[in-house]
């Protein structure tokens, strides 16, 4: 916003016009005891140029979709916004317009809202749409209150696959009301319709389903509607409006009220708002609908004109008897949606949906093929799907974010049964190169390890020699651990292998309960890597076996039973390993002379990066990436 400077003469003139001599006179009613007696702790004033520079620097500290690739889901999506959308909504007659109560001076605003309502009715198949709500969550809560008013019943039944935040808003709206909210359990990612049939009753005001649901799965929405109507309940459908490009309309599913989050229609993700609550209903419920409704009429000269209609429902007229305490709408956001849908047209809108569908399934297939990842629900989906990861999900998402890929949210924060899962959404903006890049990055979950391996050459040649010498105590622990780290990384990635003797020594060392010292470089190994290495030391450690173990990426749990069986053999293995390294002093002396040179190589080639010991070549490779 530009500065609005006031000169001393301007301030003096304004004070004079209101009949006071100074700014202090305006504060006369504030008791002296509560006044601040010191200057405010504010930084020094900046010029406009300095302030713009500072704000740009602060903005650059955010991770936005201009500098990252967004696969974020759960209601806020990175869809393409045509340039004409921002151009139209930036016109002053739209973005400075106030409440259109005076129809004679608000025809442009009223017509824009009417066009928006018409588009929403066409997409949903409903008879009437309002001028918009705050967002999808508030639209759903208002729909539930409509059902309560229409049926006089006091029970809401929500699918367990409704967005958790939307459910919370419904619960908030119902505080202080004598209403019970029940949840339909899920079965393989979908609402359990058998349980719905058992739960719904003559006390049920409404049944709420999401289509697609929170996981992106496509529900049997028509059958849910028939179950609700059989007991006299209203059927509310909460939607991703972009799905209307391909799926049936809410009316075709039998919905009485359709609500949606309109953000995909030309609105940026924008830190979660402002967004657009879409609300449409059958004509039977028009007088119970919340918010404004614009109608078309004729003026006294017979010309087409637009007005606010059915206003007796609204708070500014009926006060406590109003259908809702909302007496406004997201006018500018609704205008953006109107412009977006007009620009897309029927064919363009459908094409966007098809691209989302096809690209989402391409990416899902690619992720499902990566060891350690799976798609937990084998259900049809539109543009969004959950992924189950066997490792630390939050750490994974953080690492991917650092690499420029935004995914999520992590679903364990919403429900304990969803632990290890996260959402992935794919819009028409995502390219094959971006999706392939994500798949490649997810395969290399430890990119620093891969870079380390690729940058090594001769370290593996003496790794086994160091292990054997270490068994006799001829190498100090720090030197041994430095070399072991290099060897382990190479073995884990199938770059080299250790003999049975050296592997058995290492396995016996760990199976014997040896604890790594806190400052040991080996502590950078994950639990899984240590478990894999134990297995390598317990068998015939060929290159093929090492590669197989690396590619399968089995979890620690899958090794547990095998390790338990081998524990009993640990002592004998240690004895065998020690016997295997009984070599003469001359050989040891020769080995250690070679090792002294190698130690110098290791000392100069290993560096610390983010608390981990890595090879210098690896650091260069990571920086290049």
Residue 323 has pLDDT above 50, yes or no: yes
For residue 181, the surrounding DSSP H or E stretch is strand 180-184
- Please, are residues 209 and 316 in contact by the beta-carbon 8 Å criterion? no
pLDDT tens, 410-455?
999 999 999 999 999 999 999 999 999 999 999 875 333 333 333 3
| Mean pLDDT value across residues 344-363 | 97
Residue 227 has pLDDT above 90, yes or no: yes
pLDDT tens, 384-409?
999 999 888 998 999 899 889 999 99
The pLDDT value given to residue 488: 55
pLDDT tens, 13-50?
999 999 999 988 998 899 989 998 898 899 888 988 99
The phi, psi pair for 252, rounded to 5°, reads: -65, -25
Q: Is the dihedral of CA 458, 464, 469, 474 positive or negative?
A: positive
Query: For the chain, what percent of residues have pLDDT higher than 90?
Result: 55
Other C-beta atoms lying within 10 Å of the C-beta of residue 252: 13
Domains of the chain: 86-338 (3.40.640.10), 345-445 (3.90.1150.10), 450-624 (no CATH)
For residue 563, the surrounding DSSP H or E stretch is helix 556-567
**Range name among 50-59, 294-303, 338-347, 520-529 with the lowest pLDDT average:** 520-529
CA distances from 110 to 100, 121, 335, 558, 610 (A): 7, 17, 11, 64, 58
Instruction: Please provide the DSSP assignment of 575-599 as one string.
Output: HHHHHHT---HHHHHHHHHHHHHHH
Beta bridge partners of 340: none
Question: Which residue did the predictor score with more confidence, 1 or 302?
Answer: 302
Residue 563 confidence class, pLDDT cut points 50, 70, 90: very low
**Phi-psi region for residue 271, left (φ > 0), alpha (ψ -120 to 50) or beta?**
left
pLDDT tens, 111-154?
999 999 999 999 999 999 999 999 999 999 999 999 999 999 99
Residue 605 has pLDDT above 50, yes or no: no
Mean confidence (pLDDT) of the chain: 79
CA distances from 415 to 85, 212, 392, 396 (A): 38, 19, 16, 19
């Amino acid at each position: 916003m530009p500065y609005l400077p006031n000169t001393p003469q301007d301030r003096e003139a304004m004070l004079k016009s209101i009949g006071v001599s100074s700014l202090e006179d305006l504060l006369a009613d504030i008791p002296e005891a509560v006044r601040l007696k010191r200057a405010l702790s504010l930084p020094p004033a900046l010029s406009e140029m300095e302030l713009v520079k500072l704000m740009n620097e602060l903005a650059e500290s955010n991770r936005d979709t201009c500098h990252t690739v967004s696969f974020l889901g759960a209601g806020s999506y990175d869809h393409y916004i045509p340039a004409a959308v921002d151009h139209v909504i930036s016109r002053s007659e739209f973005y400075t317009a106030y409440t259109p109560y005076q129809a004679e001076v608000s025809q442009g605003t009223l017509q824009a809202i009417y066009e928006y309502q018409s588009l929403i009715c066409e997409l949903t198949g409903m008879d009437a749409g309002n001028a918009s709500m705050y967002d999808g969550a508030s639209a759903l809560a208002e729909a539930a209150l409509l059902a309560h008013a229409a049926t006089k019943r006091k029970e809401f039944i929500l699918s367990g696959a409704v967005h958790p935040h939307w459910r919370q808003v419904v619960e908030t709206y119902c505080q202080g009301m004598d209403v019970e909210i029940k949840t339909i359990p899920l079965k393989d990612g979908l609402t359990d319709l058998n349980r719905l049939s058992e739960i719904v009753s003559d006390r049920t005001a409404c049944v709420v389903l999401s289509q697609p649901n929170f996981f992106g799965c496509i529900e049997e929405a028509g059958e849910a509607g028939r179950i609700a109507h059989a007991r006299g309940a209203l059927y509310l459908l909460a939607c991703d409006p972009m799905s209307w490009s391909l799926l049936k309309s809410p009316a075709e599913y039998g919905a009485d009220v359709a609500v949606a989050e309109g953000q995909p229609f030309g609105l940026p993700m924008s830190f979660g708002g402002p967004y657009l609550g879409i609300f449409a209903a059958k004509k039977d419920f028009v007088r119970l609908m919340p918010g404004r409704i614009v109608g078309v009429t004729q003026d006294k000269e017979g010309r087409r004109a637009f007005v606010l209609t059915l206003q007796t429902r609204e708070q500014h007229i009926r006060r406590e008897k109003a259908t809702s305490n909302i007496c406004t709408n997201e006018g500018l956001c609704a205008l953006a949606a109107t412009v977006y849908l007009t620009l897309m047209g029927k064919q363009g809108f459908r094409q966007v949906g098809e691209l989302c569908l096809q690209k989402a399934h391409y990416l899902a297939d690619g992720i499902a093929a990566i060891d350690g990842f799976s798609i937990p629900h084998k259900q049809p989906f539109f543009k969004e799907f959950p992924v189950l990861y066997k490792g630390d999900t939050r750490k994974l998402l953080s690492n991917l974010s650092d690499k420029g890929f935004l995914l999520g949210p992590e679903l364990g924060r919403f429900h304990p049964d969803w632990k290890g899962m996260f959402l992935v959404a794919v819009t028409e903006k995502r390219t094959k190169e971006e999706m392939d890049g994500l798949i490649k990055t997810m395969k290399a979950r430890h990119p620093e390890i891969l870079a380390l391996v690729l940058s090594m050459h001769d370290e593996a040649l003496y790794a086994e020699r160091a292990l054997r010498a270490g068994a006799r105590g001829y190498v100090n622990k720090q030197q041994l651990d430095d070399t072991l780290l290099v060897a382990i990384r190479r073995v884990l990635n199938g770059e080299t292998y250790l003999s049975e003797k050296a592997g058995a020594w290492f396995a016996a060392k760990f199976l014997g309960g040896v604890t790594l010292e806190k400052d040991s470089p080996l502590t950078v190994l994950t639990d899984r890597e240590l478990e894999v290495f134990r297995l390598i030391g317990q068998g015939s450690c060929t290159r093929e076996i090492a590669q197989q173990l690396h590619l399968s990426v089995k979890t620690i749990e899958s090794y547990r039973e095998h390790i338990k069986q081998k524990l009993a053999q640990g002592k004998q293995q240690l004895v065998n390993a020690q016997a295997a390294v009984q070599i003469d002093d001359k050989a040891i002396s020769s080995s250690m002379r070679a090792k002294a040179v190698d130690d110098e190589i290791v000392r100069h080639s290993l560096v610390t990066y983010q608390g981990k010991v890595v090879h210098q070549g690896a650091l260069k490779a990571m920086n290049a990436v």
